[in-house]
Amino acid sequence: MRNRERAGELLAEELRLAGLRSAFLAQMSHELRTPLNGILGYTRNLLLGGGLAEKQIAGLNIIQDSGEHLLFLINGILDHAAIEADKFELTYGEIRLEEFLSTLIGIIRVKAEEKNISFTCDVDAALPAVVRGDMQRLRQVLLNLLSNAVKFTDHGEVMLRVRSDGPSRIRFEVKDTGIGIDPEQMERIFLPFEQVGEKNRRSGGNGLGLSISRKLVQLMGGDIKVESQLGRGSIFSIEIDIEPLKSDGSEIDVKALSEQSITRTVCDASQ
């Protein structure tokens, strides 16, 4: 009986400390983000003001890029703290899927072209044109998965597939022909502050991307699943709850989205 009481006390203390850690991280993230936003704001104003020498512009661009990267890291810590403290809420609104996917494609196509790999998008014509969901957080999840796919792929392609999975479910798949994941590391990829794979590919993050993405997807009523073969690539898939909304009768132009995703590679340019 005494052991059971002690175990309960230890669990309560662990939960209390976890809450304190999350509260501390959230407070510190806010404190750091406030002056950083001021720095970024003044940097943008200086760049827009004109009358600067080329060397000054180059320096300000470095400040801006570094500040935005630091803000990205801080926002990740803030999201993690909010989720761990059970204080994170989704913000639902209207999502026009064609516009939403077009924005994603535009961002990832540029990243793929920089690495000279192919990027394609395959969208189900049966999808509703307008749905209800948290557009910002869904974009955050998909950008994380797609950016990772590009980062860990040196040859071949990255593909985004979007499918209807029933009247109130939507499925996204991110497939790549990259380096794949070691089976021994598979369970660690969703742990906070964990980064797996080659060290030279880990730069630019804090190991929170996949951890936060999984928790966001779970809040949306789904989960992230992964299939991978070392040296042959990976498939990350998510299924989430959606609420189809009435639209003006328009449908998603899947052909236009597919054509937009076509990348310009060195091989293409030589043909």
pLDDT tens-place string over residues 259-269: 998 887 665 44
Hey, which of 51-60, 61-70, 119-128 has the most confident mean pLDDT? 119-128
Whether 171 and 237 have beta carbons less than 8 Å apart is answered as yes
- Strand residues in the chain grouped as ranges (E): 93-96, 118-123, 130-133, 157-164, 169-176, 223-229, 233-241, 243-244
Give the pLDDT band (50/70/90) at residue 50: confident
Mean pLDDT is highest, among 180-184, 194-198, 231-235, for: 231-235
3-state secondary structure of 42: helix
Rounded-to-integer distance, Cα 2 and Cα 222, Å: 40
CB contact at 8 A, 162 and 170 = yes
- In the numeric block, the tokens 């209390």 are attached to 16
Q: pLDDT tens digits, residue range 133-173?
A: 999 889 989 999 999 999 999 999 999 999 998 888 999 99
Contact, 142 vs 123, CB < 8 A? no
What's this model's pTM, rounded to 2 decimal places? 0.73
**Cα torsion 174, 180, 184, 188: sign:** negative
Q: Terminus-to-terminus CA distance in the chain, angstroms? A: 77
Alpha helices in 85-202 (DSSP H): 97-114, 135-151
The residue type of 186 is: M
